[in-house]
Structure 1
Amino acid sequence: MLLKRPFLHRAVIFVTVLSGIVSACNHRETITAIAYVDPLVGTAASTTESAEKHSEAGSELKGQTFPAVGVPHGMTQWTPQTRASERKCIAPYYYRDSLFQGFRGSHWLSGSCTQDYGSVTIMPMTGALKVKAEERASLFHHANEKASPDYYSVYLDKYKITAEVSALSRASIMRFSSEDSDAIQFIVEPNSDEGEGYIEIDPAKKEIVGYNPAHRIYQGWGESAGFSGYFVAVFDTDFEHYGTWNGDSIQDKNIAATGAKSSVGAYVAVRPGIKEVHVKIGTSFTSIEGARKNLEAAITGWDFDAVRNESASTWNKALTKVEVKGSEESKKLFYTALYHAELLPRVFNDADGSYPEFGGSGKIMTATGYDYYDDFSMWDTYRAVHPLLTLLEPQSSGDMVKSLLTKADQGGWLPIFPCWNNYTAAMIGDHAIAMIGDALMKDIASDEMKRAYTIMRKNAFEVNTDTASYKDGKGRRALASYLQYGYIPLEDSVLESFHKREQVSRTLEYAYDDFVLSQVARKLGKNEDYKRLSQRAGNYKNVIDPAIGYARGRYADGKWIESFDSNAIRASYITEGSPFQYTWYVPQDIGGLIAVLGGKENFITKLDTFFDQRYYWHGNEPGHQTVYLYNHAGEPWKTQGRIHQIVEEEYSTGPGGLSGNEDGGQMSAWLAFNMIGIYPTCPGLPYYDLGTPFFEEVSIHTGTNTFTLKATNFKEGNKYIQSATLNGTPFNRTYLLHDEIVKGGTLILEMGSQPNKAWGSDPVYIP
């Protein structure tokens, strides 16, 4: 549907994909969905009213995305680099920057405030040798920049060189074209803020190899992660001269350098007069030889366009699992969001299945029959990213479940926020349970259900009494207090966490996690566990003060904290939000929440106030389900109207088009779901709330089946559902079951400009 206000956007240069690209199924119309993707969205400061109102200064005013080139969930993603850092909260690329420092093979968590790791940068140049990133950098202009999921190119004003890159999961290819006859030189730098990189040149092989040791973040900050980012770069041209640098010391003809708290790198130059040079780079987390094998398995020749075509075809296969009919602007919004939602988690194993053991031992393991994934921004992504993948990518989702279970086997506990292939205990909750449980309830990885339940149950029932491993991030934070009181009291400061205190938010999120686990217990016939976990799922009532109707800090003796402001951002017992925002976080028992807040009428009045007074904050995740609470209170037309308002105010196709950090794809997954017209309000229950259509027609391809949502009388302003039919039968409920979508069918929605308050009177999904 056309949005009311124009989108803030720049002139986006879309890539024309080769005509040979075909969609995944022969019966499907061939479309080039990749042409609607703009990877530069989210690379600039957010321009939305909500972000300016609610976010703190700094990175949260930016989407923190980067123009990632590769394939969905690729091991290494290639990006233009405008910031030479692997420091926390510094993305490799910012739209406002004007100096290009090279192409970086990056493991940045899209949209995050974390840090890159194991990266390598390659920069072409002419003239006097400059090795430091800021000194070698070239001015570039966005008018001479082309960005697409399969390809990025830029013209470097300083050197009169056109630099291009395309990539697959574990390997990339670059093409550098010079306008003059000066010798092209290349800087190859294994980035390391710790100064521990290694590099080596083999002139006979026209090859540069190296590695960059990865370091942990959050728990174990600065310690070795137990692996490195390895690379092999092969050139199609002989080296005329070469050398290395270490800190400020440049050593001509030297072939190897090791960092000792200093930056290191290599430089090579080709013969003058050569105007085009190709470079292929393989990457790995296991070894240099692993990187070489990954390169050989992925790219056999020097055909740049063939690699680009393969990357584009892979993206189109993923993106066209949802096909839409609507305005060009809406397609740009939607497919860019779908692209961002498909970047993480990343494949972590080599082509032969090899990967470093979880937890930093350095031992090399083998994933047999599945891909091993890492970098789960779990507090963010369990909400919509993983439910989107369970719907569109069930095979990959199953591999992600197996990866999480493998981590638990290798480390002893199910990780909470596994990144850098280690425990972190970042953020709050225990949401690997939510992700795994949601997949199991949708019959994904069902052969792992008993194993998964045993592993998840340990996190939920066993207090880790080993001080060292608990500090290392193993075990649910503050579980002893939670089990003793039914909530986490203010006296427990949860010191062995990156996010300390935040007791009320933790309680609310643990209650939800316990609910998801209860559903798996019930499915397995674990009746006693089901009863206990179901009771614990009601612990949210222990931190919502019924006298005032808000989530509120509570002491061990049951008394509520006296000083209270429902709209205080960053109250010590709330995570990244306000008590008002977190009061709505009871996705597992919305009917119970309605009762706690004084019944339906009071509930709706409070919800209206929340939105009308602009207390809703879309730029952070805890409230992403809140707009759907109207569905559960019998007024779905308010959900329909407010969704349009959120999309109009919070998203655009410009560089500042994301409100707050993208957070591993969650902001975009919310948009993708809502533009389809559905949303997983409570992952762990196999249903989706109905929203409102943004397209005339949406087709979701699930294997050999297709589910279609059609909107009749679809035009601007018609955002309210008047009536509906499902497979020709009158349809009067505000949700769809997962199986209804997966098995295929057609939902037809008759739209109108005014609410039909009679539609949607059936009760919402109750397990």
Structure 2
Amino acid sequence: MPSFAHIAHIALIALFALGLVGCDDPASNRPIGDAQVDLDLSPELDTSDDLDLSPELDADSVADLAPNEVDDWVAPPDLVIPNLRQLTPYVDPMIGTLGQGNVIPGALLPHGMVRVSPDTSSETGSIDSYKYDDTQLEGFTHLNLEGPGGSANGYSQILFMPYSGVLPADLDVRQTFSHDTEHAEPGYYSVELESGVQVELTATSTAGLHRTTFPPSEAAHVLIDLGHSNGKSVGGEVEVVGDDVVQGFGYYNVHPLLELAVMEPTGDSKVYFHATFDRPIVDTGTWQGEGATRVTTPGARTGRGVDLGLWLDFDVAATGELNAVVGISLISVEQAALNAAPARQLGFDAVRAAASEQWNQALNRIQVDGEEDLKTIFYTALYHSMFQPADYTEQGARFQSGSSGKAEVFEAGRRHFYTDDWCMWDTFRTSHPLQALIEPERRGDVIWSMLHLYKQGGWLPKCTWHATGYSRVMIGNHAIPIIADAYAKGLRDFDPNRAWEAIWKASTEDIANLGSTSLCGYLNLGTPPEYLALGYVPSECDPTQSVSMTLEYAYDDWAAAQFAGQTGHTGERDQLLARSQNY
């Protein structure tokens, strides 16, 4: 009897045979199916609404594209998967939330920017937003990291928390919950809080949707905490507009310790939001600060400062239900409103259905047969592999990036900008090779995004994020094998000249940093000069990682040599191949 792994392997081969994963077109040296921008994975509805939840792209805009990336590009045909199976029931988003998995159980699309998910009560500096063995929820945040390893700090930004009854004087609205009342599936999450409040969440790529049902005859409140973060709050602004809109931003440092170590602007993240409610706001108030230093201002409709928050009162006596659509942006409040517009038009149920269908289409990239519990393990792992990198392209084909040290806005043209790949030291050997096989249409944009960050900031990234500067913190130059792998597989919808320039710089130079004599693996961006001179990384450079660093740089050298040979740089190829023997 064939093993489960054998069946999965055969199924993946079948996808190739059916032409679902792409093959080389000898006439153009461009893979068929390569660089598809949007997959229309939306269900057929009886309305005329377009349920494509990805940002619209302006095909005429070509900012930041090399000439040969535009003139010969032809949109591939739509992907059609025959014999579609219903695979979402095999996904259990709660797998990985216990222990060190650092998994979030909330709602998102495949590679979605917005990940609206519950936050449990965790200590300051925690990397994970949700821990299965915690008993209290602090609220529901809109930007979250998924599955990062040992690094402290992170996202968990723009927190909303409903509350029923009289607000406590200290505004501590954490609530106990039970896993018995939780339900999580791809694109949807729900839970009942101890107060009897029922919370339901779903998402588009750029907006989170909340449907909250309050107990009858109880006062209904929503608290918006802009200071909440796994990093550090450094500012924020909030404003109530009219009787049903709240907008503003939270300003954070995602990794304060790293900024202190590199002594330059690093890790700053300004996250804008625009929230529309389906009932009028009856009363408001703001707070600023934490604990004993917290200052509350009842009746206030605006606020600014560090650790800022706002509470809203609603009259929901008629039905008990309150709906909110929260657009998220890294560009502006106005952009956040644009990002929310498709979700406002569709409503909660239609967005949930579309999210489920997009996930089902994505999971059908691999079809396996086997025991039911093994299929749950397999499809949950496949589901988690499609969280990152995340598509941060916003409505109107714009995106923000900050590898130069400051946040800048760019036109994407036909491109999608991918980030939040935390970290490539883990993903270059796992999810990236997998995605090159089963999602080849994204590869060109994933590589283009790395090269965009190189052009903006001068170095290939190690761990992409939505903050300013570079998240260094991992050893090696593993953007190199990701680029080389795509090129070797014929997925070449990016500028090879810029790619080679970036690869060669990372392979032969390094950035000056304060950790060069003790923590060079954590703080560098290229290849340490000691490795270039000695053929290994000495312990003086990094006493806890020097052996691992030598192995990683040797492998990166081999990958760079493969790319060099395929792009005509034979002298550099020979040099890199010789260095790859340093292992």
With normalisation by structure 2, the TM-score equals 0.79
Paired residue type of 1:417: C
Structure 2 counterparts to residues 242-253 of structure 1, below 5 A: 242-247=284-289, 248-253=294-299
Cα distance in 2 between the residues matched to 1:44 and 1:466: 37
Paired residue type of 2:549: R
Paired residue type of 2:206: R
Q: Deviations over 1:641-693 (max 9, x none)?
A: xxxxxxxxxxxxxxxxxxxxxxxxxxxxxxxxxxxxxxxxxxxxxxxxxxxxx
- 1:398 corresponds in structure 2 to 444
Cα distance in 2 between the residues matched to 1:459 and 1:175: 48
Does the Cα contact within 8 Å between 1:294 and 1:350 map onto a contact in 2? yes
Does the Cα contact within 8 Å between 2:251 and 2:270 map onto a contact in 1? yes
Structure 2 counterparts to residues 663-674 of structure 1, below 5 A: none
- 2:353 corresponds in structure 1 to 309
- 1:215 corresponds in structure 2 to 253
- 1:170 corresponds in structure 2 to 206
* Among candidates 424, 430, 446, match of residue 384 of structure 1: 430
Cα distance in 2 between the residues matched to 1:510 and 1:224: 25
TM-superposed deviation, 1:205: 4.6
SS of the equivalent of 1:220 reads helix
Matched, 1:290 2:335: yes
- 2:276 corresponds in structure 1 to 234
Cα distance in 1 between the residues matched to 2:81 and 2:426: 36
Does the Cα contact within 8 Å between 2:453 and 2:461 map onto a contact in 1? yes
Matched, 1:255 2:301: yes
Structure 2 counterparts to residues 285-684 of structure 1, below 5 A: 285-296=330-341, 298-301=342-345, 303-359=347-403, 360-376=405-421, 377-421=423-467, 422-464=469-511, 473=523, 475-478=525-528, 480-490=529-539, 492-494=540-542, 501-540=544-583
- 1:705 corresponds in structure 2 to none
| Structure 1 unaligned blocks of 5 or more | 4-17, 46-61, 495-499, 541-767
Paired residue type of 2:532: L
Does the Cα contact within 8 Å between 1:203 and 1:238 map onto a contact in 2? no
Cα distance in 2 between the residues matched to 1:213 and 1:436: 33
Paired residue type of 1:95: Y
Cα distance change on mapping 1:463 and 1:349 into 2, 3 Å: same
Cα distance change on mapping 1:35 and 1:165 into 2, 3 Å: same
TM-superposed deviation, 1:229: 1.2
TM-superposed deviation, 1:219: 3.8
TM-superposed deviation, 1:29: 2.0
**How well do the aligned residues superpose, as a CA RMSD in angstroms?**
2.7
- 1:136 corresponds in structure 2 to 173
Does the Cα contact within 8 Å between 2:161 and 2:223 map onto a contact in 1? yes
SS of the equivalent of 1:434 reads helix
Cα distance in 2 between the residues matched to 1:443 and 1:276: 52
TM-superposed deviation, 1:227: 3.7
Cα distance in 2 between the residues matched to 1:442 and 1:457: 21
SS of the equivalent of 1:113 reads coil
Q: Deviations over 1:248-296 (max 9, x none)?
A: 2221110122224xx2211111125141110000001111111111111
TM-superposed deviation, 1:425: 2.1
Matched, 1:40 2:94: yes
With normalisation by structure 1, the TM-score equals 0.61
SS of the equivalent of 1:326 reads coil
TM-superposed deviation, 1:27: 5.9
Cα distance change on mapping 1:468 and 1:362 into 2, 3 Å: farther
**Range 466-475 or range 161-170, more displaced:** 466-475
Does the Cα contact within 8 Å between 2:271 and 2:330 map onto a contact in 1? yes
Cα distance change on mapping 1:183 and 1:89 into 2, 3 Å: closer
Cα distance in 2 between the residues matched to 1:483 and 1:116: 33
- 2:325 corresponds in structure 1 to 280
TM-superposed deviation, 1:372: 1.0
- 2:84 corresponds in structure 1 to 30
Cα distance in 2 between the residues matched to 1:27 and 1:200: 45
Cα distance change on mapping 1:443 and 1:367 into 2, 3 Å: same
Cα distance in 2 between the residues matched to 1:139 and 1:371: 40
TM-superposed deviation, 1:89: 3.2
Cα distance change on mapping 1:508 and 1:155 into 2, 3 Å: same
TM-superposed deviation, 1:237: 0.2
Does the Cα contact within 8 Å between 1:433 and 1:516 map onto a contact in 2? yes
Does the Cα contact within 8 Å between 1:197 and 1:210 map onto a contact in 2? no
Cα distance in 1 between the residues matched to 2:140 and 2:579: 50
TM-superposed deviation, 1:132: 6.2
Cα distance in 1 between the residues matched to 2:448 and 2:409: 17
- 1:703 corresponds in structure 2 to none
Cα distance change on mapping 1:90 and 1:131 into 2, 3 Å: farther
TM-superposed deviation, 1:224: 5.3
Does the Cα contact within 8 Å between 1:88 and 1:113 map onto a contact in 2? no
Does the Cα contact within 8 Å between 2:506 and 2:525 map onto a contact in 1? yes
Cα distance in 2 between the residues matched to 1:379 and 1:287: 32
Cα distance in 1 between the residues matched to 2:93 and 2:169: 28
Q: Deviations over 1:607-650 (max 9, x none)?
A: xxxxxxxxxxxxxxxxxxxxxxxxxxxxxxxxxxxxxxxxxxxx
Does the Cα contact within 8 Å between 1:139 and 1:157 map onto a contact in 2? yes
Paired residue type of 1:251: T
Paired residue type of 2:249: Y
TM-superposed deviation, 1:63: 1.1
- 2:59 corresponds in structure 1 to none
Cα distance in 2 between the residues matched to 1:411 and 1:90: 26
Does the Cα contact within 8 Å between 2:211 and 2:321 map onto a contact in 1? yes
Cα distance in 1 between the residues matched to 2:79 and 2:575: 46
Cα distance in 1 between the residues matched to 2:505 and 2:143: 35
Cα distance change on mapping 1:320 and 1:278 into 2, 3 Å: same
Cα distance change on mapping 1:27 and 1:419 into 2, 3 Å: closer
Paired residue type of 2:488: M
Structure 2 counterparts to residues 651-730 of structure 1, below 5 A: none
Does the Cα contact within 8 Å between 2:106 and 2:201 map onto a contact in 1? no
Does the Cα contact within 8 Å between 1:283 and 1:294 map onto a contact in 2? yes
Cα distance in 2 between the residues matched to 1:89 and 1:400: 28
Decide which structure has the larger Cα Rg and report it. Answer: 1
Cα distance in 1 between the residues matched to 2:135 and 2:332: 35
Cα distance change on mapping 1:444 and 1:131 into 2, 3 Å: farther
Cα distance in 2 between the residues matched to 1:137 and 1:463: 46
SS of the equivalent of 2:267 reads strand
Matched, 1:127 2:181: no
Cα distance in 2 between the residues matched to 1:122 and 1:424: 27
| Structure 2 unaligned blocks of 5 or more | 5-41, 46-50, 52-77
SS of the equivalent of 1:435 reads helix
SS of the equivalent of 2:500 reads helix
Cα distance in 2 between the residues matched to 1:512 and 1:429: 9
Cα distance in 2 between the residues matched to 1:232 and 1:519: 47
TM-superposed deviation, 1:362: 2.5
TM-superposed deviation, 1:307: 0.5
TM-superposed deviation, 1:415: 2.2
TM-superposed deviation, 1:322: 0.6
Query: Percent identity of the aligned residues?
Result: 30
